[in-house]
Each structure stands twice: as C-alpha cells, then as structure tokens.
Chains A and B, each alone.
Chain A
C-alpha cells in the first residue's frame, strides 16, 4: 500500500460487494415475486438481470430482494418497486430485457415505464 488512493480503490470495490448488509431505511426496494408461480413463469432470470444491471451501474442505494406470491399469478413474473415517499409501482409479465430498461428508466432516472405496469396490461 503506497498511497491513500490505493486504499480508496479497495474500499469502493469491497463496499459494492457488501452494500446489501445492514439496515438501509431510505433505500429503493425491488421486490421480485419468487413463489412457485413466479419461478415457473421465469422470475429467476428477471431477478438476475436486476442484480447484474444494478451492479453494472454501481447503484448503491438499491436493495433487490425476493418476495412471495402476491396473488396475481396470471401476471407473473411480477416485480414491485418501492421508492421511499412515492407510490409503489407494480410491473407484470416481466422479462430480463424489461428489467434492464426498468433499471435505466425507473431506478436511475425516476421515470415509471408505464407500458410495463399492471395498469397497462390488464
């Protein structure tokens, strides 16, 4: 270790690996429905797409987590996004490609992708 910059570089890298540990009350939560219905409809690749895309963009304040069945099995895979202080948004019939766009539009730029929401698909 010859400089503080080196230490900083290691810290930034390691922090990213650990960012989901600990309490983050003001974090954006991405909930992927992973009950039997969700998994059968392909929720697993969707979850992975969110994780990879968030890592690629180095999003620190996002928690990607699974949840159970929310009761609208015909719309699976279902993903809900909760941004503190805003209404919850429910996306339905998700795919990995849609996930990438949602990370970009909704998580980064805070624009809801209306065409993927439950309102536009029911």
Chain B
C-alpha cells in the first residue's frame, strides 16, 4: 500500500508541454530518496485544465500544482513528499488576487462541472486495467450479461434519453433497436473516433484517459444488438490514444473481458482498431464504414441506413466515443438517474473543448441546459486581456456562431439548432472583438473546400464558389448583390449535398450573415473591416499629435514605406505598405493605428 499518490497528466496537451520528462524526473528522485515503496506515480489522462499544464496532483492532500517544470520536481519531493509541506508557489491560482487553491474540486473550473463521460480522466492510470475495474469498470458488462436480456439493455438506453454525442443527436437506443431487429449472420458495432473538427479534442481525451470505458460500452452494444465484432475507427493523428487503446484491448483480452465466453455466459466479442488517414469526410458515417472496408472514404446515399446495411453490407451501429463513455454509467446507475440530468429533450451531460480567446483553455463536462455564459464566464474564466466577448462558435465547420445576445440560452441540441448553430461534437471556440466574423466564415469554408471529397457537385463546386465570394468581400470588391447570392447558394448546397459534410458546410456563413450582417455590409459598403483583420481593407496611419519622430517605425519597416525626418511627424505610404503591423508593434507612443 502506498501512502501517497502523485498523479501526472499524460494527455496530449500536457505531454507536449513536457509531462513525460516530469514523470522521469519524479521516478528518479523518488527512487533516490528511497520513497519508491511509499509513493505511487500515476500517469493519468487529461484533467481538463490544459491551459495550466503540465498538471500534477498529490494525494491524499489533493494539492493541485499547475505549470510544473522539471526543475520543480526535486522541491516537490523534498518539501511535499518528505516533509509534508505543500509547495505554495506551484499551487494553481484562479486569479491574481485569489488565495491559492489547494484542491482541484474547489476551483471554479471544476465546481460547475458534472463529469460522467470524463469521470475517470485524470483519476486513474489508463494503462492499468485494475484501476478501471476499481472504479466499477466492467461491472456494467457483467450486469448486462448475467442479469439482463438484450431487449432490456436497449430499453434501458432508450429510457435514459441518451442522444448521439457526435453532433447529430440521434437517440442512441432507437439506433440500437433498429440494428437489433434486423436479422443477419453477422452484425457489427463501430466506434467513431475520427474527431476532425478544428479545435475539438473531447474524444481524444476520453480515449487517452479512460479507454476501457469505450471498450466496455462497445461490448454491451454488441450484446444488445447481437454482434460479436467491433471496430474502432480512429485518426492516426492521435498516437497516444491509439497506443492506450491497443494496451487496453490487450489487457481486456488477458482478463477475458474481450474474446470468447465472457463471464462464462457464452457471449463472444472482439474489437479491432482501424486508423484513419486524416480525411475529414471519414467522420461521416457511410464514408467511415466504406473506409473500414478498405475502400476510398467517400459517403454513399442513405437509405439503406447502416442499421440495415452497414459495414460489409451487414447491420451495423456506429456511435461516437463520448456516447459510448456514457453507456456503462447508465447501466450501473439506471436510466432514471441519467434522465434526471439535463433538459427535457437533451439528457445527461456534454463535454466541450474550450478554445480561442478564453482564459481556461481545456476540457469541460457540464449538464445539458447549462448556459453558454456559465461555460464561458464561470468555468472558462472569461475573455482575457479585458477584451469584450463577441461570439462563440460551436459545431466546428458544420456549426455556427452564437452572438453575445444569446449568451443566456441553455445549451441543448434543439436550442442550438433554433439559433442556427448545432451541438456538433463539442468544439467551442470563443471569439472577442478583435475577430472578424467574415474572416471566420472564410476560415471554415477554406477547411470544407479542402476536405470536400468531391463526390457530389453541390459540395465540390458550391463550397468553392461560396469561398470565392467570401474572398471577394474580404478583399473589398464585394457588392450587396453578392450577399443575397451567397444566401441563395448556401440554401442550395444545404438542400442538395449528398452527406452531412456538404449539408452543414454553409452553416458558418449563414449564421454569421444572420447575426453579423452589419460586418459584412461594412466590408461591402464602407470597404472597412471593423475588427481590423482583413488586410486588404486595412490602412496603418500615424497620428500626428502622438508621433515624436523617433524613427523607430521607419527603421523596422521591411518595405521602406515610412518616411519622415528625425523629430518630425512620420507618414506611411499606403501604396507601398504591406500591412505587416511591425511598425505598430515597435511604436512606443501608441501613435500608429489600424483603420
């Protein structure tokens, strides 16, 4: 038995800020001090507070150390582990005047969260199956195999109100019952881990922090629909998640929790991993299944739906990672526990990846119905540097922007759709007043044009034409007629594209046109970018009353566009200026502005 546990985050965020080196140093230091029999070092999954990484927590005190460096390790060992003195200077501070917070659960960041899908992330070592079992892991699988019929399992999931967490929000129980009712010699259970939205990393963190939860849920799904084989389709860009999944599958096999005759009930289930090669369209269900089959990842028309003819033409269910992560908890705690959380039509919780102009970049899980304001201001810590909140983008390239006037809307599937956005997989990008909404729409369109597979015309050519119109507007050549044309084209693409990628691609344009039409009009009518982002519409000018003639700007200008004598007001030749902004950065008197 260990008297103390040191948990070090081994998620992708903290790993890239050197948490591996911290683990190495800790192991060496603890061995040197002869504490290796007393102190347990645990590499966990993501804690969620990625902005403060690398994160280290020492139990039983629960001391939460943030932004730890390799050089800090010897102090933690010497002071905390040997002498029992908490290292105050490393404790996480929520804001500059707050007292240091010793326990993670007491931070604003965690207090409003409810962790179901992420319950084990940052708590267990994902590479040790025993730790998952200690947290009631595989008990749900044991329960369904020994106490429940497949129909009872499906009813329980239906009753819980769980809806697909990949973005579409289709009721999971209904999906399962469709696949269960189709007779076939072989059926398949698939997991969509091809998380491709820019800024989204919910699924990666679940797989890195709690891979067994997904394996257990897939086996439960296999029992419910009568399948003996499963596939996890995961992008190759997630090496840590792939590695932990492989370890988890091997350990589950060794314990007989995957394979033949599980719990002596005669139920067989096996899981294989397939790596995606980085095509965004492979997150679409029919394209994903086509890719698993070894073909080029392109969507096909539905019906037939995968529940009828899916992988290898057999009945198949495909659920998202986060959806699966909820399943064992629903089985163990009951559907009435789950459907008591959330709103009328959206039950349970949702994980969001917070990014963009927000203080606490990271991963949060909140009950459905939490308002955007609570997520952004209370949990996320608000917009940094005293800037004003402008909009939040949800649903990635398929979603839309939510402006400040909708900050108090309770977040669930239906509310987000009613304001022209969507839940999406859970990426939540916050933008402040320095973000140009036309530019944002252009960014997402560039992404979809790049990722369109080219199979259907509305998506292949439509998104390209749409992007060209946006480029015309941001370069100052747009007309008011273009705005109307854009709206028409958006509707056309939505109605006619073959798959979800094309059908949702115009959403970023439509929602910004709807909520920020004044910005589009400023680009078209006044030839100005209000946020000062679109370079063609910008001019750098020197304020005559503030310029001291120090020549600093003229010296830093790479194209010699600034002229003026020493101690006299300088001027910028806008014909020569390339709008790099170097002069503005250099000026110590705030005499250069963008307009």
Contacts and interface: CB of A to CB of B under 8 A. Distances in A.
A68 B138 contact: no
Nearest to A13: B130
A113 B59 CA distance: 28
Q: For the complex, would chain B's binding face be called helix, strand, loop or mixed by DSSP majority?
A: loop
B60 A2 contact: no
Interface in A1-51: 1-4, 7, 10-11, 13-18, 20-23, 32-36, 39, 47-48, 51
Interface string B7-40: 1000000000000000000000000000000101
A36 to B, nearest CB: 7
B531 interface: no
Contacts of B136: 11
Contact of B4 (A1, A3, A20, A36): A20
- Nearest 9 CB-CB pairings of A with B: A66-B84, A55-B1, A14-B134, A1-B256, A14-B130, A20-B60, A34-B84, A2-B264, A15-B134
Most B-side CB within 10 Å, residue of A16, A35, A51? A51
A7 B262 CA distance: 11
Given A2-B256, A10-B130, A51-B1, A20 B59 contact: yes
A68 B103 CA distance: 18
Interface in A36-93: 36, 39, 47-48, 51-52, 54-55, 63-68
A39 to B, nearest CB: 7
A47 B5 CA distance: 15
B62 interface: yes
Given A1-B257, A51-B1, A64-B60, A18 B83 contact: no
29 contacts: A1-B138, A1-B255, A1-B257, A2-B256, A2-B263, A3-B263, A3-B264, A4-B263, A7-B142, A10-B133, A14-B131, A15-B134, A20-B3, A20-B59, A20-B60, A21-B59, A23-B62, A33-B84, A34-B83, A35-B84, A35-B85, A39-B83, A48-B3, A55-B1, A64-B3, A65-B61, A66-B84, A67-B84, A68-B85
A3 B256 CA distance: 10
Nearest to B262: A1
B407 interface: no
Contacts of B139: 7, 11
Interface in B290-331: none
B566 interface: no
Most A-side CB within 10 Å, residue of B7, B84, B134, B146? B84
B134 A18 contact: yes
A23 B64 CA distance: 13
Interface of B: 1-5, 7, 38, 40, 59-62, 82-85, 103, 105, 123-124, 130-131, 133-134, 136-139, 142, 146, 255-257, 261-264
Contact of A16 (B1, B3, B123): B1
Contacts of B131: 14, 17-18
Contact of A22 (B38, B84, B123, B130): B123
B133 A54 contact: no
Contacts of B133: 7, 10-11, 14
A80 to B, nearest CB: 12
A35 B256 CA distance: 48
B7 to A, nearest CB: 7
Contacts of B85: 35, 68
A17 B263 contact: no
B8 to A, nearest CB: 13
Nearest to A24: B60
Contacts of A33: 84
A99 to B, nearest CB: 13
A11 B134 contact: yes
Nearest to B1: A55
Contact of A52 (B1, B62, B262): B1
A3 B138 CA distance: 12
